[in-house]
Structure 1
């Protein structure tokens, strides 16, 4: 688990704007895209890299790095769309996957159903699952299972804000998964919103509330 806000003041600057209820939809999208770029940069240490030699304008050789295999970036609709866009701006060769999930409540508890899935049949490289809010962890858990089912060799999760209960849940379910988040908040309310959080990331990104 890496908390980017503990390392980078700029992440705190972004969070101040994302959390602020006065931030407009347009501004919120801009800051979410920037959060996606930040997550891409900081989680890049988890990706597969290969050494390359390039020729500089002086005719000299310099050894640097290139992605050995483009990651599969999986966004949870619709809140993650700006995050995915920001990530892809950093790594344009990324493969993009999308999933949509809903929670189904019953006497036996809550389960998550994926009702939309656009993923490759097989992906054996690294996969990055992006969702702005890691609340209970149950949606992320379901998406991780789906990504692992197509063969992903390594799974990374990127969020803007994660809750401590959600992190504990994912840690128990998927100890092999590395999580990057700009911040960790302590609590969930009765509706399973992260507190203090930033509200409904999907509504604020899209500018439309569901009926």
Structure 2
């Protein structure tokens, strides 16, 4: 892992970077893109959860009783910003199948680039849980900042944000609004274009996952 500044960490593991390169390629198929997003989510989930607290619990192996480490505290919450966030969510649930799931429905108004919320559903007792918000792209960060604010309003206090790609403009905006929320990403690209897309990026993650335009 490579910390860029403050609360921003680039996950520079070679397997993450290799899979991201294939995902960027415009010739990668829908099926291939979806599979790679799930695979990269496994690797990123491993990194973003590496400092979870453990406690010793009593179990019995086939050979003898023992004390063995288990994750401490209430179940994690993965909060997916719809719809593209579900591509990362699926892979993370492969590793942490007992996690609770929140869904935050947002879409970007393509004229104003502002987020429009249409759905929100989260588990109870967020104040006692680690919440990992997932969305493949941190572009303008408008949707991400609103989503995190919504979670804070319903009690969340321990939040991390995980994305595949980020733009410098989005990182700056997000960290200014939520300096208490660590950001984990596989890459910080060059800039945003006039339409608010990350350059060089990989296109619209949702469209590439689902074959839409």
Please, what TM-score do these two structures have when normalized by structure 2?
A: 0.88
Q: Determine the structure 1 residue equivalent to 2:123.
A: 120
By how many angstroms is 1:156 displaced? 0.5
Q: Give me the whole-angstrom Cα distance separating, in 1, the residues matched to 2:72 and 2:22.
A: 32
Q: Deviations over 1:129-184 (max 9, x none)?
A: 10000001111000000111111120100000011111111111011001111111
1:202 to 197, 201, 206: 206
SS in 2 for 1:45: coil
Query: Where does 1:48-63 land on structure 2 (aligned, <5 Å)?
Result: 48-59=53-64, 61-63=66-68
By how many angstroms is 1:105 displaced? 7.3
2:10 to 3, 10, 14: 3
SS in 2 for 1:98: strand
SS in 2 for 1:168: helix
Give unmatched runs, 5+ long, in structure 1.
none
2:139 is the counterpart of 1:135: yes
SS in 2 for 1:160: strand
Please, what TM-score do these two structures have when normalized by structure 1?
A: 0.89
1:31 to 36, 52, 67: 36
By how many angstroms is 1:9 displaced? 0.5
1:164 to 168, 174, 187: 168
Q: Give me the whole-angstrom Cα distance separating, in 2, the residues matched to 1:64 and 1:122.
A: 24
2:40 is the counterpart of 1:18: no
Give unmatched runs, 5+ long, in structure 2.
1-7
By how many angstroms is 1:28 displaced? 0.5
SS in 1 for 2:18: helix
Q: 1:156 to 1:176 in 2, by over 3 A?
A: same
Q: Determine the structure 2 residue equivalent to 1:79.
A: 84
2:94 is the counterpart of 1:70: no
Q: Give me the whole-angstrom Cα distance separating, in 2, the residues matched to 1:151 and 1:85.
A: 25
SS in 2 for 1:13: helix
Q: Give me the whole-angstrom Cα distance separating, in 1, the residues matched to 2:151 and 2:81.
A: 12
Q: Give me the whole-angstrom Cα distance separating, in 1, the residues matched to 2:28 and 2:101.
A: 28
Q: Give me the whole-angstrom Cα distance separating, in 1, the residues matched to 2:105 and 2:17.
A: 29
